[in-house]
Structure 1
Amino acid sequence: MKILVTGGTGFIGRHLVWHLAAQGCQVLFSGRNATAAAEVIAHSPAPVQWLALAHGSAQAAERLAEASQGCAAIVHCAALSSPWGAPQAFRQANLDATAEVIHACKANAVPRLVHLSTPSLYFDFTDRLGIREDQPLPAPVNEYARTKAQAETLLAEAQLPKCVILRPRAVFGPWDQTLMPRLLRVMRRGAIPLMRGGQAQLDLTCVENLVHAVWLALTRPLPRPLCVYNLSNATPMAFADLLQQLATQLHLPLRTRRLPWRLVHGVAHLLELKARLGNGAEPLITRYGAGVLAFSQTLDTRAICRELGYAPVISQAEGIARYAQWWLARQETPDEP
């Protein structure tokens, strides 16, 4: 079957492209970076095609509609995932891009859409355990959460024949550009702050398990037209324990410093204000970035297990070991994930 993957040059997108190609699918993936696209093509187990596309541009909707002709499904990965950025950039990457995908699905009667959302929608600077998909969402904490929530609303209103929204928590693995690299930078440069004792319970998702979940969302019968599922490895661990595992696997020194949450929150707030008054560059630490490491957030994943037959294909420990093996083999620095 022919499948279009938006954002196929990104971390998650490239893993999906490679898996779908290995399954014998005809894969077309979009992205703006020609160098990254060449890398995706070079590592693919079977031929794949690249569509150079900048979401939010005047021609993007029609180009995407043309490219998706004959598709059995679209997997929408393209997004701006960051704790900091200009509101317009988030609207373009997360909201406009989703509208373009919906247009393509309707223009070509694409039977199925799988959309990658985020559990950042649940975050509210409190400890939350076992969050279900049907629980009310708090006010968005930043533009990323706001635009991803708005994108989900667009999908709900679109009334597509079959649509699956996945909310994977803290995805990591080879080619990760966000989660692990940020931790490693701090780990190599100084002490990592442990807020609230470093005991916040964190859910993680190995990228291999997310890819498996997407494949199930593409191939399994769906119980209703719109399905929303949490996703993780379902093995929460304390932030301090995660740091210790990473330090051991990556042969890095681990230095930590216990700091009060209120102090870190106040400093982050001041840094954000300074950044807004200056050049707008992302500050060293944001309130959201600190908060997700200070407060517990775990997901109830029983719905996807029950309705799609999902179960993790690799354990969290194995996922961390695989990432460490990849990172060490590339002899990377923390600044070059």
Structure 2
Amino acid sequence: MKVVVTGGTGFLGRHVVWRLAARGHTVVFTGRNAGEAATVTALAGAGVDFVQVDHGAGAARAMLSDCCREADAVVHCAALSAPWGSRQAFERSNLTAVDELLAACRERGVARLVHISSPSIYFDYTDRLQVREDSPLPQPVNEYARTKRAAEERILAARLPHALILRPRAIFGPWDNALLPRLLRLIRLGRVPLLRGGRALIDLTYVDNVVDAVEASLALSVNPAGVAPVFNISNGEPVEIGELFARIATSFGLPLEAAPRPYVLADLAARVLEAGARLAPGWEPPFTRYSLATIAFSQTLDLSRAAALLGYRPRVGIDEGMRKTSAWWRASMGQHPT
């Protein structure tokens, strides 16, 4: 099978490239960073090619069309996932990219598309437990959530015969450059706030489990009529945020200093910082209302649809995933994150 992987230089994308290459598939992956692409290619072995694509640029659509020539499937991992940024940046990375890819699929007759979305579209500053894929969606809380939801709508409207959408929650693992590094910096700085008592239940997903779901999606032949091809993905091991910080600290051999903090005051501080950032384009606040709220409010996912239709069962537990991640960090970085 020939598979095109967008965002193959990113965290999840590179793991998808490596797994598919190991399975013997022909893989073409895209990204903007040629330096990172060299690392991905070196670890992937034969049968992998890189094409440098900048979504939203004039040549991107034609380049993606060339990538999709004789392709059997596309895995769309490319996205801007960030707590802060301009509306234009999110639209270019999360919407224009989808439009370019759908055009390429139509032109080359690629019917199978696996799109990586986000459970951020469920978030509404309240506790939400065992959220199902068909649960009512609130108004998006930020540009990331807005554009990820709009991207899903465009993919479903395109009516590709075999298009599936995965919503993996809080991915972590080797090469993670977002979630765990941010939490580790808090731990090392001794500034771990336990908002709302530190009792928020959080779902995480080890990266290999997400790749398992991608493989299962590529293999799915028929989706039952009347069931939207959208699937929640997580480890299915909800953990309180206070306990999560403790597990991370233990896995990385760090002391943990955590203390309860009033959520109302933290939220007010975030509002002030965001107001300042809007007046100073180019400056990113150290934390946002959304980033604080993700460790203050519970969000867990119902996995029954993925289990029933994809046969999804998380193979790597959170503790094992933490051990694997910390071992990789020590081997590759030689030190703890700063």
User: Could you state the TM-score of these two structures normalised by the residue count of structure 2?
Assistant: 0.97
Q: 1:326 aligns with which of 312, 325, 328?
A: 328
Please report how far the alpha carbon of residue 223 of structure 1 lies from its aligned counterpart in structure 2 after TM superposition.
1.3
Q: Shift of the alpha carbon at 1:189?
A: 1.5
Other structure's SS at 1:281 match: coil
Tell me if 1:5 matches 2:8: no
RMSD: 1.1
The answer for the alignment partner of 1:192 in structure 2 is 192
1:247 to 245, 249, 253: 249
Match of 2:230 in 1: 228
**Structure 1 residues 119-175: Cα deviation after superposition (integer angstroms, max 9, x where no partner):** 000000000000000011000000000000110110111111110100000000000
Q: How does 1:1-337 map to 2 (within 5 A)?
A: 1-224=1-224, 227-329=229-331, 330-335=333-338
Report the alpha carbon displacement of residue 257 of structure 1 after superposing the two structures with TM: 2.1
Q: Structure 2 regions of 5+ residues with no counterpart?
A: none
Residue type at the aligned position of 2:299: Q
Q: Is the 8 A contact 1:84 1:282 kept in 2?
A: yes
Q: Which amino acid aligns with 2:135?
A: Q
Q: Which amino acid aligns with 2:109?
A: A
Q: Which portions of structure 1, spanning 4 or more consecutive aligned residues, are displaced by more than 4 angstroms?
A: none
- What is the letter of the counterpart of residue 303 of structure 1? R
Is the 1:222–1:307 contact (alpha carbons within 8 Å) kept by the matching residues of 2?
no
Q: Show CA shifts across 1:61-119 (max 9, x none).
A: 11101110111100000000011001100000000001111111111111200000000
Counterpart-to-counterpart distance in 2, 1:276 and 1:193: 25
Kindly indicate whether the alpha-carbon contact (under 8 Å) linking 2:25 and 2:47 is maintained by their aligned counterparts in 1.
no
- The answer to whether the Cα contact below 8 Å between 2:252 and 2:336 also exists between their aligned partners in 1 is no
What is the Cα deviation at residue 276 of structure 1?
A: 1.2
Moved more, 155-164 or 12-21: 155-164
C-alpha contact 1:222 1:308 (8 A) present in aligned 2:
no
Contact 2:75 2:114 in 1 (8 A): yes
CA–CA distance in structure 2, aligned partners of residues 290 and 59 of structure 1: 38
Q: Distance in 2 between matches of 1:45 and 1:287?
A: 42
Q: Is the 8 A contact 2:74 2:112 kept in 1?
A: yes
Distance 1:332 1:224, change over 3 A: farther
CA distance in 2: counterparts of 1:252 and 1:45, whole angstroms:
36
Q: Quote the Cα distance in structure 2 between the aligned partners of 1:72 and 1:9.
A: 21
Equivalent position SS for 2:294: helix
Distance (Å, rounded) in 2 between the aligned partners of 1:277 and 1:333 = 35
Count residues in correspondence: 335
1:193-249 CA distance string (max 9 Å, x none): 110111100000000000000000001223158500000010100001111111111
50-59 vs 275-284, which moves further: 275-284
- Contact 1:5 1:27 (C-alpha < 8 Å) held by counterparts: yes
Letter in 2 for 1:162: H
Q: Does the 8 Å CA contact 2:41/2:48 hold for their aligned counterparts?
A: yes
